[in-house]
């Protein structure tokens, strides 16, 4: 496997091209403007905004919050697949708790999105849509289970996991490649270690 000069393997060209296509898609700007109006209504300046971006925590709250629905939903699917009949009640409860935790998680994401630049906002819009599809599928799964349609519920949950995985990939791009995320001013700009010089160097834009 070829490595870059800094020792990091190159990303798959297809994935990079797909993300770049989203970043350059000007057609996303109109729906992004609509989402901005919604986000501004939800994320009020002051106490609400500061709580959602994690000012009290020292850095963005959203990455921490995403562990909740992802963890609950993943655990539910594991029980669906290997837990047998005994694991079904716990799987259903985990699914429901994941749905409930997704709403505050989305609110923290909207708060961070308001601080992003235009390219990152386009990615964030697709990220939010993928996660919304995932949430809708998980909700449909929970309803199917309540109605006794267990096989359909399990299949819907797995479909929701697929959508949430896409959303997670784009969320990772926002956090790592685009550096979207508020933080306390006491924390300096992130730096990488150049393996050739063994000295810190600024991150490339």
Backbone phi, psi, residue 96, to 5°: -65, -40
What's the confidence (pLDDT) of residue 45?
86
Domain assignment present for 184: no
Domain assignment present for 74: yes
* Distant-in-sequence contacts of 183-190, Cβ < 8 A, 24+ apart: 183/58, 183/59, 183/60, 184/55, 184/58, 184/59, 186/58, 187/58, 187/59
Q: What is the largest CA-CA distance in the chain?
A: 62
What's the confidence (pLDDT) of residue 164?
96
What's the length of the chain? Answer: 205
Give every CB contact of residue 14 below 8 A, 6+ residues apart in sequence.
none
Domain assignment present for 200: no
What's the confidence (pLDDT) of residue 200?
47
What's the confidence (pLDDT) of residue 6?
52
CB 104 within 8 A of CB 42: no
What's the confidence (pLDDT) of residue 56?
87
Measuring CA to CA, which residue among 161, 159, 162, 174 is closest to residue 127? Answer: 174
Q: Count structural domains, the chain.
A: 1
Token couple for 34: 């609509």
In angstroms, the CA 156 to CA 150 distance is 10
The parent domain of residue 162 ranges over 29-179
What's the confidence (pLDDT) of residue 4?
54
Domain assignment present for 88: yes
What's the confidence (pLDDT) of residue 187?
79
Domain assignment present for 114: yes
Beta-carbon count within 10 A of 135 CB: 22
pTM: 0.84
What's the confidence (pLDDT) of residue 88?
96
Domain assignment present for 85: yes
In angstroms, the CA 121 to CA 59 distance is 19
Mean pLDDT by 10 residues, the chain (205 residues): 56 87 96 92 87 89 95 97 96 98 95 93 96 98 97 97 96 90 77 50 48
Domain assignment present for 50: yes
Domain assignment present for 156: yes
Residue 130: in which H helix or E strand, if any?
A: helix 118-146
């Amino acid at each position: 496997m070829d490595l870059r000069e800094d020792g990091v393997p190159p990303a798959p060209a297809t994935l990079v091209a797909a993300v770049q296509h989203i970043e350059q898609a000007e057609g996303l700007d109109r729906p992004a403007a609509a989402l901005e109006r919604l986000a501004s209504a939800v994320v009020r300046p002051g106490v609400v905004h500061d709580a959602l971006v994690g000012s009290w925590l020292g850095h963005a709250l959203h990455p921490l919050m995403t562990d909740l629905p992802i963890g609950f939903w993943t655990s539910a699917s594991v029980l669906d697949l290997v837990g047998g009949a005994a694991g079904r009640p716990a799987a259903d409860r985990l699914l429901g708790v994941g749905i409930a935790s997704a709403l505050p998680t989305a609110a923290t994401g909207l708060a961070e999105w308001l601080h992003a630049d235009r390219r990152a906002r386009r990615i964030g819009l697709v990220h939010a849509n993928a996660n919304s599809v995932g949430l809708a599928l998980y909700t449909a799964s929970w309803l199917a289970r309540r109605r006794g349609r267990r096989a359909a519920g399990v299949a819907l949950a797995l479909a929701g996991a697929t959508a949430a995985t896409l959303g997670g990939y784009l969320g990772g791009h926002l956090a790592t490649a685009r550096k979207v995320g508020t933080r306390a001013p006491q924390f300096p700009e992130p730096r990488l270690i150049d393996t050739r010089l063994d000295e810190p160097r600024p991150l490339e834009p």
